[in-house]
Structure 1
């Protein structure tokens, strides 16, 4: 069994979580796509002050998504960054998805901030650059929901994933793999999140447009393979 710490940084919200699986289940199901029945997961909620006492006791840690920004003054973000730095200094795998991608990058010294192109919502097409595996070159089509982005590539990593709306959409390095999109999302989940976002900072026009672009197929299985390739040391 491979022990994975799933570090949540937000909740789906009561209205959504009563209809669909909670975040921790979405992440576990995503990782299981390429490596079924080998996960032993422990769930932590960083946004509620719950973090692993010793993250290095796990084989891998995945940092999840959030409505928060890594540069905002939330009291739970500095301890989260400390845990990520601890994992980065070890031989364990450090994985990040969406906000988690930004957290890992920030922990390594990268610049993270608002996108210059606005919100990236619903289905996006991502080009694979050099790495994390030379045999993996096909583009990825994945769901996205973000406004913040990583603006610089931290030392010790390379950008392996890019899109017109997000230049640095994925980072790979020794025992590190991150991606800005949400490979764990289903069309039903992102539709519910978009619907629940009305009346907020995203315009109804942008939400309506995004809802037209949530149908698959998506590359979630391929994305899951990338995470496991990075863990096995073959990426």
Structure 2
């Protein structure tokens, strides 16, 4: 199964070994699930011809906001709607989670409560789950047809499903300890100091990236987002 990775931003230096970009993190996360991958750098206006260019799609994180007036935003929203209409499975992570919601009629805004950074606890359909987060923007209004899968005290709409073809999550299952540490050093200046201190203190605590990888793998293969 070919997964098309739509890379919506460039990773800061030192975040990914060899500066391979966010796409490499997702390929590593989904290793062992019998997928092949192709990457389009949509942030640089490199787009596929259409939904049929891959069997499933994944939109990465980005330092950009879904609501920003940038050249790649509108065509990416058009592609999201085309993928949905086509019925190919689509996964969104962080920015991907937000831009999908926006493209389908939801709203994304900066959260007045500041940043979520580091290990965060979620209620995932009644079960606890921990993932690394790095965001201030949030989905604040759900599109029609979206179902909430996970929430937290800091992020109400932490994971969403749209029928059996779209699955999105606000946190970063592709970020391990090293990526979080690199983000703290390279992009931590905008974050409240006490939250950076908390993130540093929790760097070595376990997170449930493997559980999310299994969910994403199952979703691509079977259309089950749970």
**Normalising to structure 1: TM-score of the pair?**
0.89
Kindly state the Cα deviation for residue 221 of structure 1 after the two structures are TM-superposed: 1.4
Determine the C-alpha separation between the residues in 2 that align with 1:221 and 1:168: 21
Aligned CA distance change for structure 1 residues 56 and 228 (closer, same or farther; 3 Å): same
- In the alignment of these two chains, the number of paired residues is 223
Kindly state the Cα deviation for residue 54 of structure 1 after the two structures are TM-superposed: 1.6
SS of 1:14 mapped into structure 2:
coil
Residue 30 (1) aligns with residue 21 (2): no
Within 5 Å, which residues of 2 pair with 1:65-104?
A: 65-104=61-100
Within 5 Å, which residues of 2 pair with 1:90-169?
A: 90-129=86-125, 137-169=126-158
Structure 2 gap ranges (5+): none
Aligned CA distance change for structure 1 residues 165 and 85 (closer, same or farther; 3 Å): same
**Normalising to structure 2: TM-score of the pair?**
0.92
Determine the C-alpha separation between the residues in 1 that align with 2:224 and 2:195: 40
Cα deviation, 1:14-71, whole Å, max 9, x if unaligned, reads: 3434567531111111123xxx151110001111111111223311100000111010
Residue 230 (1) aligns with residue 226 (2): no
Query: Is the 8 Å Cα contact of residues 7 and 43 (structure 1) preserved in structure 2?
Result: yes
Kindly state the Cα deviation for residue 203 of structure 1 after the two structures are TM-superposed: 3.6
SS of 1:217 mapped into structure 2:
coil
Aligned CA distance change for structure 1 residues 19 and 122 (closer, same or farther; 3 Å): farther
The CA RMSD measured in Å over matched residues stands at: 1.7
